[in-house]
Amino acid sequence: MSPTAQPLSKGAQIIAQLNELIQRKDADDFTLKRLKAEAEKIKENNLVDAFSILGMIACIEQDIENLHSYHKSAITYSNESARELSHYVVSLINSKLYEDAYKYSLKVFKKAPTDEKNLDILIKAISELNLEEEFGKYTSIWFDLKKEPHRLTIYPKALVRSIEIATDQMLAGEDNLSYEEVFGG
């Protein structure tokens, strides 16, 4: 008999949904309120997931104080699991808190050196902080892992940032971008 995939827990389902909302930058107040209520219910049985969910919601709401507080609680209750550290890193990078993202990405890297998503975020944080030596080190690790160069080694940082800004603006419905807004020229 072959093993069957286990269904995701309610907490894991909400975390996956929040990751998608963070990536798309597409969350409304009603959805966030509903997810907060779900997190409160989950708290009875799973403090780690509940605090992670609340930390991710704080990220979306740009509530930096609660982002830190909730995620650090999740990390503490999980005994500093790579999973909870990763959730914190996602919130940090999406809140443009690059120094903290770098610091916590390093912790995840030490626990899970082949985690591609974390390594990608670590490289992005290093790039934003202009840490050239570390950039070379971790893009080399990326190449060894993926057998292809990291996207930030292929494209200049300014171009990648311009594309990210243009994408964010297009997702926000701002489709009349000027050359200067996209390329800073």
Residue 185 banded pLDDT, cuts 50, 70, 90: very low
Q: Where are the domains of the chain?
A: 10-95
What integer is the mean pLDDT of 102-117? 94
Which two structure tokens, joined as six digits, stand for 91? 């919130």
Query: In terms of C-beta distances under 8 Å and separation of at least 24 residues, what long-range contacts does 125-134 make, across chains too?
Result: 125/93, 125/98, 125/99, 125/101, 126/102, 127/152, 127/157, 128/96, 128/98, 129/98, 129/99, 129/102, 131/102
> pTM for the whole thing?
0.76
Residue pair 123/138 in contact by the 8 Å Cβ criterion: yes
Helix (H, G, I), strand (E, B) or coil at 8: coil
Residue pair 35/13 in contact by the 8 Å Cβ criterion: no
Percentage of residues in the chain with pLDDT exceeding 70?
85
pLDDT in tens, 72-100: 999 999 999 999 999 999 999 999 999 99
pLDDT in tens, 125-164: 999 898 889 999 999 999 999 999 898 887 656 666 677 7
Q: What's the 3-state SS for 104-147?
A: HHHHHHHHCCCCHHHHHHHHHHHHHCCCHHHHHHHHHHHHHHHC
